[in-house]
Amino acid sequence: MLRLPHEPAVAIVGATGAVGREMLAILEERAFPLARLRLFASQRSAGTRIAFRGHDIACESLEDAARDGTLRGIDLALFSAGKSVSKEWAPRLRDAGALVVDNSSAFRADPACPLVVPEVNPEALAAVDLPAIIANPNCSTIIALVAATPLHRALRVVRMVAATYQAASGAGAAAMAELESQAHAFAQGAPFDTRIFGRQYLFNVFSHNSAVGDDGFNEEERKLLTETRRIWADDSVRVAATCVRVPTLRAHAEALFLEFGRATSEHEIRAILAEAEREGHGLRIVDDRAANRFPEPLDAAGKDDVLVGRIRMDPSVEDGRGAALFVCGDQIRKGAALNAIQIAERFLPRGASVDANPASRCG
């Protein structure tokens, strides 16, 4: 595998959005080594200054950088600016020499672009030659598979039924702001702003706001099927999902019902998940029946791990081959920004370390 430079030049495309800002925070928290950081946003947001490692960095537009000829020299580009931006600019950054990790749906079905959750299918990166485009899966898929994959490896999941409870964060910073504004409006007896979802969000639950196909499934539900099959490299696994929006700000919750290829027990399932937790698989068990404490979005918000609980056998599946879980994961973090950066970290040279004064070379 070709690797990034010891201290790569890094760009974030979509730096002013919720995921872009989370990427910045994670780069700082994880002491990601870099020689230079460039931030890209829309023409409207160009010039916006964002703090990073003690310095303010001005956002640029991709169009201006292309005209100036300065897209070359970027080693790593982290994209979170939407499908249309990714489709136009990710190949241009790749062709200019960058490793691109894209958070949109633009390349998830492209067989030339690996679709990767580092804790789940890191082997998909082994044959990647740089420069390249690597796709981040959908947030709901990431959260579900971090929890389900240890069980899949040991017991082989043949069927997964998922019900998701998705936070405003999945629709971006504007959706989070709309939910907060409705809470303020409710307290003041004022009209609700409904520009993002076209309906009251506060105190409400509604079908996920992605397009519904002729088969009755929306895009979010379809992604859980197609992406799970691709990541697990198993076109035989059966997946069905119902995805809804719930009025929480951060962290998606999912009820997962898994059918296995062989009989198992609650004891074995708990042992498999506990071993995965010990090995740093990216999950943490939260399952206290006596105290009725299980995964909750508030507890998952801002955390790297996917919380796993409500671990029990599914009596609707015969011969002890079914189990049910309830999981929560931060959509902005593990469902987007962190997963992208974990992919990038796989391409750093072994032993790469942060510069003693990285802020001096930002911007």
The residues annotated with a catalytic role in the active site are: 139, 252
Helices (H), 96-172: 139-155
Sorted by sequence, the CB contacts under 8 Å of residue 254 that are 6+ apart come out as 140, 143, 144, 162, 163, 164, 165, 326, 327, 328
Q: Hey, what are 303's tokens?
A: 């955390």
Burial string for 97-114 (b: 16+ CB within 10 Å, else e) reads ebbbbbbbbbbbeeeebb
Q: Hey, what are 105's tokens?
A: 């749906």
For residue 343, CA distances in Å to 30, 193, 217 come to 13, 38, 30
E strand map for the chain:
9-13, 36-41, 49-52, 55-61, 76-79, 99-102, 132-135, 157-166, 206-207, 238-245, 252-260, 283-285, 306-313, 322-329
Check if the beta carbon of residue 308 is closer than 8 Å to that of residue 325.
yes
